[in-house]
Amino acid sequence: MAAPSTSTSSFAQSFPPRIEPQYVRIVGDSVGVVNLTPAALQCLADKLTQVMTRCSMAARQFATHGRRKTVKVEDLEFSLRSLGLPMPIGALTRSLPSVRQLRMPGGEQLYVREDMDLDVPPLTQPPQVKVPVKRHIRVHWIRVDSEEEPPPEKKAKKIMQGAGVPTLDLPAALRKRTPLPSESGAPSVSYRLAAQGVPKKEQILIKPSFVEPLSVEQQIYLKEIVEACVGQDDRKRQQALQSLERDTGIQIRCNIVHRCLSMLIYVVRMMRAVAVNKSVKLDGVLHEFLPSLMSCMLGRVVCTRPESDNHWALRDFAGKTLITIIKDHGTKDTRRRAFRAVKRIFDEPSSSYSMIYGTITTLLEFATPVERIRLHPRFMILLERTRTAAATSGDQQERIEAHKLHASLTKHEPSLRRLIKQAAQASRRGHS
């Protein structure tokens, strides 16, 4: 066979596409670069041809790996990234790109694609990945014969509606009761059976009480009562206290605070008169009564002249009034809180003798037998301390307070000793 001719072989040979130096010069002129030599233009054309060839081949490989016949912009982006080249900004996939014609200074025509305005920050920032929603299981009612089984409440309501009985007019016990299938045909029978469980008692709602503003008559009454209780006329004072003890229309609205000893005694007497009134409820004002009484009992200084004024009577009377109020109007919790507050003052090393004196009556009244036994060691320590202070202290006020406290402790200490003796005997009998 004859060998093919040279012309035939050259015609069959494939020539790869190349970028001409003339195109490089036109692009350089469009961007303002005009001082390129022919050798530089040829070098740039060869380099661009090489890069485009490698990029096209890599993009074709990515399209083949993606089982696609056409090459997309994403394939070109991946190929440029593999070559270490950045993707040009504004490269988008367009079905019909718009082309704009430009006339160059040399008379040539250049066709460029118009780029739309892009928001650069979203392109430079990484895309935000949406976090999937947490899975949850939803409960569905079962289906019987391709029909959804309703819940028991809806099923009972449906049966009631089918029986012709209005659900809203039925008693509570009948609405809650689920009728049997055999009873659906006899509404009267089911009604009588369900009505047997209806409770006979009914809850009666009482309008809650609220504090009303004082009328003019009540304000005048309060003014006259206070003036009579703190005045000089003893007969009017007794009448005012009796009125507070027996009047059925008294409203407790406020608390009175004063630093004068005589005024404090009168106010405590008013509080005691109100406390013994059977028609007065102090539940809503205990938070105002108890702190003032405890201040009169446990205050370090309750008068302007403690060395001469008889503030001991005020402490005793305030303690008795506190006991009366808590017994008649308080609860177990109020009793325990008052006991803890008084015991804290009794055990506090920094408490003065007068403060400890005001705690003894309330402490022994509210303490249980076991707590009284536990108080005995503290009693003995205070007895020894007050005996020494009353005999050797250089302060006259301290000697008076120590003497008063020692007398009160001496009065109540034998009862604690008898209680300890009885507890020991009971324990001995239990062991025997």
Domains along the chain with CATH numbers: 16-86 (1.10.20.10)
What is the residue type of 315?
R
In 3D space, the residue among 309, 294, 295 whose CA is nearest the CA of residue 401 turns out to be 309
Of 10-14, 197-201, 277-281, 334-338, which gets the smallest average pLDDT? 10-14
pLDDT of 10 strictly over 80: no
3-class SS of residue 148: strand
Angle at 29 between CA 28 and CA 33, to 5 degrees: 60
Of 368, 249, 269, the C-alpha closest to 318 is: 269
Q: Are 250 and 277 in contact (CB under 8 A)?
A: yes
Q: What is the percent of the chain with per-residue pLDDT over 90, rounded to a whole number?
A: 5
Choose between 62 and 117: higher pLDDT: 62
Calpha distance 43→251 (Å, rounded): 109
Residue 61: pLDDT band (50, 70, 90) is very high
The predicted structure's pLDDT at residue 63:
92
Mean pLDDT of 236-250: 73
Using alpha carbons, select from 189, 261, 190, 270 the residue that is nearest to residue 224.
270
Q: What are phi and psi of 216, to 5 degrees?
A: -65, -40
State residue 398's pLDDT score. 85
Between 367 and 256, name the one with better pLDDT.
Answer: 367
Q: Which of 247-251, 276-280, 361-365, 405-409 has the lowest mean pLDDT?
A: 247-251
User: Of the spans 19-23, 152-156, 163-167, 265-269, which averages the highest pLDDT?
Assistant: 19-23
Tens-digit pLDDT profile for residues 182-214: 544 455 655 665 555 555 565 666 656 555 566
Q: What is the pLDDT of residue 248?
A: 62
Residue 43 exposed, middle or buried by CB count within 10 Å (0-12, 13-18, 19+): middle
Closest to 271 (Cα-Cα) out of 287, 259, 255, 295:
255
Q: Given a cut of 50, is residue 375 above it in pLDDT? A: yes
Encode pLDDT of 119-144 as tens digits. 777 777 777 777 777 777 766 556 55
C-beta separation of 45 from 19 below 8 A? yes
- pLDDT above 70 covers what percent of the chain? 69
Length of the chain equals 432
Which of 368, 363, 413, 365 shows the shortest CA–CA distance to 387?
A: 413
